[in-house]
Amino acid sequence: MPRFAANLSLLFTELPFLDRFTAAARAGFTGAEVLFPYDIATKFTQRALLASGLDFVLMNAPPPNYTGGTPGYAALPDGVARFRSDMARTMRFAAELRPGLIHVMSGPAKGPAAQETFIANLQWLADAWPGQRFTIEPLNPVSQPGYFLDDYEQAAEILDAVDRPNVALQYDAFHAQMIHGDALAVWDRHGPRAAHVQIGAAPERSEPGRGPTDFPALFAAIDASGYNGWVSAEYHPSTHETAASLGWMRD
């Protein structure tokens, strides 16, 4: 039986950020993830987590570039110094928020040098913080044009090269469907590498039950695989209130 987490950057956005934690708990979630928790003082996020009883499952890194730069730059050959500096900042937040996982974003890049840089940065990160678990996630080129990590076979190759026990795959049903056209087939092939699962229906990244993905079959496959991590709802509700979009979870 999956443990469901709510992505509070996308869900319950009809509420102020700190109120979303309690709303998620009341809706039946037991975990929460926040894409970029860097704008809120950690003490406030900690209090919201404590009051709601939710586990803090995942956050993204590096922190966003508020000067208008790229979303992530772990694969940028000329961005190594900045990546390492900003990841130190990320880990200061992580020391207080204690996320189970940190998703490391590759950023936009292409070519062998980018892949070598991404691998080296992930190895450095894993070795520098061996007690923290990290993930990488392929993002589809429609949502993230030019993003370096845009294929699950590529992710598998990178994970084999990184070869660290605390770096794993982040499987996202929305991106898997958009990239490869069959989210279930991607899970069957790459699910054993996954330390985290996110769900959303292609092509609009809406709640499960819309679009071509057979979510009952996907949930059954996840259960049958023995996966015991979190399944995080990361989608844009098609309803005004998030709770009205949760029929898939009640089912």
Q: Which residues are catalytic?
A: 137, 234
Question: How large is the C-alpha radius of gyration of the chain?
Answer: 17
* DSSP letter string, 117-135: HHHHHHHHHHHH-TTSEEE
pLDDT, position 66: 63
Is 0.85 topped by the overall pTM? yes
pLDDT, position 72: 83
Greatest CA separation for the chain? 48
CA angle 47, 205, 217 (to 5 degrees): 100
**Is the backbone of residue 185 left (phi > 0), alpha (psi -120 to 50) or beta?**
alpha
Give the bridge partners for 232, in sequence order: 5, 198
d(CA 113, CA 214): 38
Helix axes 152-162, 173-180, angle to 10 degrees: 120
d(CA 209, CA 92): 39
DSSP conformation class of 208: B
pLDDT, position 67: 57
pLDDT, position 251: 80
d(CA 29, CA 22): 10
pLDDT, position 14: 97
Q: Each residue's pLDDT tens digit in the chain (251 positions)?
A: 679 999 999 999 999 999 999 999 999 999 999 999 999 999 999 999 999 999 999 999 988 766 566 778 899 999 999 999 999 999 999 999 999 999 999 999 999 999 999 999 999 999 999 999 999 999 999 999 999 999 999 999 999 999 999 999 999 999 999 999 999 999 999 999 999 999 999 999 999 998 899 999 999 999 999 999 999 999 999 999 999 999 999 88
Residue of 164, 64, 59 whose CA lies nearest to 121: 164
**Sequence-ordered list of residues with C-beta below 8 angstroms from that of 41, at least 6 positions apart, any chain:** none
Helix, coil or strand: residue 115: helix
d(CA 118, CA 170): 16
Which amino acid, residue 222? I
Q: Residue 51 is encoded by which pair of tokens?
A: 């009051």
Helix, coil or strand: residue 84: helix
